[in-house]
A and B are shown apart, each in its own frame.
Chain A
Amino acid sequence: MNHKLELQHITKTYVTEEGEMAALDGINLEVKPAEFLCIIGPSGCGKTTLLRMVAGLDRPTSGKIVLDGKEVKCASPDRGMVFQEFSLFPWRTVLKNVEFGLEIGGMADKERQAIAEKYITLVGLKGFEKHYPYELSGGMKQRVAIARTLATEPSILLMDEPFGSVDAQTRNLLQEELLEIWKRTKKTVLFVTHSVDEAVYLADRVAVMSARPGCLAKCLTVDIPRPRKRTSAEANEFRAKLLMWLSLERSKACATL
Chain B
Amino acid sequence: MRLQTKENWLWLVPLIIAIILWQFIAVYVVKESTILPSFTAVIFSFYELREDIPLDILVSLFHFAIGMVLAFAVALPLAIAMGWYDTVFKAVDPIIELIRPIPPLAWVPLAIAWFHLTHFAAGFIIFIGAFFPILIASYTGFRDVPKVLVETGKVLGCIGNRKLIRYVAIPYALPSIATGTRVGMGVAWMCVVAAEMFGVSNYGLGLRLFTDFFPMHQMDYVVAYMLILGLLALCIDRLFRHFVEDKLFKWKRGIVK
Question: Which of A's residues lie within 8 Å of B, judged by CB?
Answer: 55-57, 74-77, 79-81, 83, 85-87, 89-92, 100-101, 103-105, 132-135, 148-149, 152
Contacts and interface: CB of A to CB of B under 8 A. Distances in A.
Given A132-B254, A134-B251, A89 B168 contact: yes
A100 B155 contact: no
Contacts, number: 72
A104 B155 contact: no
B254 A75 contact: no
Nearest to B167: A104
Contact of B157 (A57, A77, A135): A77
A76 B163 CA distance: 13
Q: Which 6 A-B pairs have the closest CB atoms?
A: A134-B254, A101-B156, A75-B154, A77-B157, A104-B157, A81-B155
Contacts of A134: 251, 253-255
A55 to B, nearest CB: 6
Contacts of B250: 132
Contact of B251 (A76, A105, A132): A132
Contact of B172 (A74, A80, A91, A149): A91
Contacts of A100: 156, 167
Contact of A135 (B146, B171, B172, B254): B254
20 contacts: A57-B155, A76-B157, A77-B156, A81-B152, A81-B155, A83-B151, A83-B152, A89-B149, A89-B171, A90-B251, A90-B252, A92-B251, A100-B167, A101-B156, A104-B167, A132-B250, A134-B253, A135-B254, A148-B156, A149-B155
Given A86-B148, A92-B171, 15 more contacts: A75-B155, A76-B157, A81-B152, A83-B152, A87-B148, A87-B152, A89-B149, A90-B251, A91-B174, A92-B251, A100-B167, A101-B156, A104-B158, A104-B163, A133-B251
Interface in B131-182: 146, 148-149, 151-152, 154-159, 163, 167-168, 171-172, 174
A100 B154 CA distance: 11
Interface of A is mostly: loop
B169 to A, nearest CB: 11
B148 A83 contact: yes
A81 B255 CA distance: 26
B254 A77 contact: no
B170 to A, nearest CB: 10
Contacts of A104: 156-158, 163, 167
Contacts of B172: 89-91
Interface residues of B, number: 23
A65 to B, nearest CB: 15
Contacts of A86: 148
Contacts of A55: 155
Contact of B159 (A74, A85, A90, A135): A74
Contact of A85 (B148, B156, B163, B253): B148
Contacts of B167: 100, 103-104
A70 B255 CA distance: 43
Contacts of A92: 171, 251
A220 to B, nearest CB: 29
A91 B168 CA distance: 10
B155 A79 contact: yes
Nearest to A93: B251
Q: Which of B151, B171, B250 has the most CB of A within 10 A?
A: B151
Contacts of A152: 156-157
A76 B158 CA distance: 8
Contacts of B253: 134
Contacts of A80: 155
Interface in B216-257: 250-255
A55 B174 CA distance: 29
Nearest to B170: A91
A126 B45 CA distance: 62
A191 to B, nearest CB: 16
A16 B250 CA distance: 44
A81 B156 CA distance: 8
